[in-house]
Amino acid sequence: MSRPAALLIGDYRQTLTVARALAAHGMRVVLGQVTGRRSQTRHSRHVAETWAHPPIGDGFLEPFLAALERYRPAVVFPVGDVEISWLAGHRDRLPDLAVAAADPSITAECQDKTALMHRAAALGIPHAPFRLVANGTELAAAAEWVGLPCFVKPHDPLLRIFGAKGIRIDTLSELQQSFAEWPAGHERLIVQRYDHGPRHNVYFAANRGELIGAVEVSILRTDRLDGTGLAVDGEAVPATPGLSEDTALLVRDLDYTGVGCTQFLVAADGSRSFLELNPRLGANYVVAHAAGLDLASIAVDLAMGRDVAAPRLRTGIRYAWTLGDLEGLKDAVRRKEVTASGVTRWLGAMIRTAWHADVHVTWRLSDPIPSLVMACRSLLGPVVRRLAPGNLRRRLRPSG
């Protein structure tokens, strides 16, 4: 008897963990891959087949309907915000199918960061003051109102600000320099006071507003020196007072079914500040999986109407994202943010993290090819580009 198919849409680093988990869950993994784009997940031995498709957008509906007819998946698994948003916006034009994501109305509110923050405030969940702004004048006024340092981030979760998820601002002169021009494509931005303390992610699964399980992860380092950016080192820790309770409050108030991740900043005195609830799997959720919370399989079971038992969870599991660590160092060197001794300290921390990690975000000895492919692209890509015929001709062309 053939295994039921799971159609994965969205190729991110967490997609690799999803593919591995669902294959172990007895499913045949079909990976959607944007035509012409490189993919690391397709090299996994747990991917049975790949499906080439156009980018998510206006031209995606017909190819997607054709894929549903061809593969007849038992479940569709949208991995990232773009894919989740597209499916949520097209449910009325799709056949009845199991989708491993929260209800579209819940997805829409969670992705509206200000609406979610107002809901959190109504529930008494602590958060830093924030304002929504639409131009440079409002931005400067909001920064003074919330106080410095502050954090400026997109209102639309599908966008980036100057290539980043958000920008920390410490002074008004830094604000003027960073936002000399309003970032293209953004109608509004969120300005929020930057509360100090490590970021804590609470990965959770819920059914009809009740938590099934939650794993809290403390972020120990990111790929940016100021602590913003993408996490490269973290550990599953015992629950911090208030974080699981706040997550449970939001889940119950939203009548949430599915998986997701709440984020908080936790100060040294234990005070907490709610940041957001992402209605998807976090990029480094592999640590929650290693701690006993198989979010990918739970998401599929919930989508298919199966009962899900509360899992047995562990703490003390540490993870590393070594390639992201290295890319962060390269970016810091390019921006001249680190000295030679700073590079040495960064490399030392990266090596210690990789050595002591219980699990790696992409690397797995039993499935090594995806990580090796990504490492080769990262390390050899610049060399290959320099040796490309067009670049060589430009370098060898006589000047004058």
Instruction: Count Cβ atoms below 10 Å from residue 90 Cβ, excluding itself.
Output: 14
Mean pLDDT of the chain: 91
Q: 167 lies in a domain? A: yes
Indicate the pLDDT class of residue 165, thresholds 50, 70 and 90. Answer: confident
Provide the pLDDT for residue 113: 87
Give the Cα separation of 214 and 216 in Å (integer): 7
What is the average per-residue pLDDT within 327-341? 93
The 8-class DSSP code of residue 112 comes to: S
Indicate the pLDDT class of residue 251, thresholds 50, 70 and 90. Answer: very high
Q: Which domain holds residue 23?
A: 5-102
208 neighbors 257 (Cβ within 8 angstroms): yes
Q: 211 lies in a domain? A: no
What residue ranges in the chain does DSSP mark as E strands? Answer: 5-9, 28-34, 47-53, 75-78, 130-133, 150-154, 167-169, 189-193, 199-207, 210-222, 231-237, 258-266, 272-278, 318-320, 359-360
**Beta-strand relationship, 28-34 and 130-133:** unpaired
Q: 32 lies in a domain? A: yes
CATH code for the domain in which residue 94 is found = 3.40.50.20
133 and 90 together in one domain: no
Cα angle 358-364-365, degrees, rounded to a multiple of 5 = 105
Helices (H) and strands (E) in the chain, counts: 14, 15
pLDDT tens digits for range 118-131: 999 999 999 999 99
CATH code for the domain in which residue 150 is found = 3.30.1490.20
Question: Is pLDDT above 70 for 254?
Answer: yes
Provide the pLDDT for residue 396: 47
18 and 85 together in one domain: yes
Provide the residue type at 387 as one letter. L
Task: Give the chain's length.
Answer: 400
16 and 71 together in one domain: yes
33 neighbors 39 (Cβ within 8 angstroms): yes
* CA distance readout (Å), 66 to 61, 63, 202, 286: 9, 5, 37, 32
**Beta carbons within 8 Å of 391's beta carbon, 6+ residues apart:** 385
pLDDT tens digits for range 50-96: 999 999 988 999 999 999 999 999 999 999 999 999 999 998 889 99
Provide the pLDDT for residue 268: 86
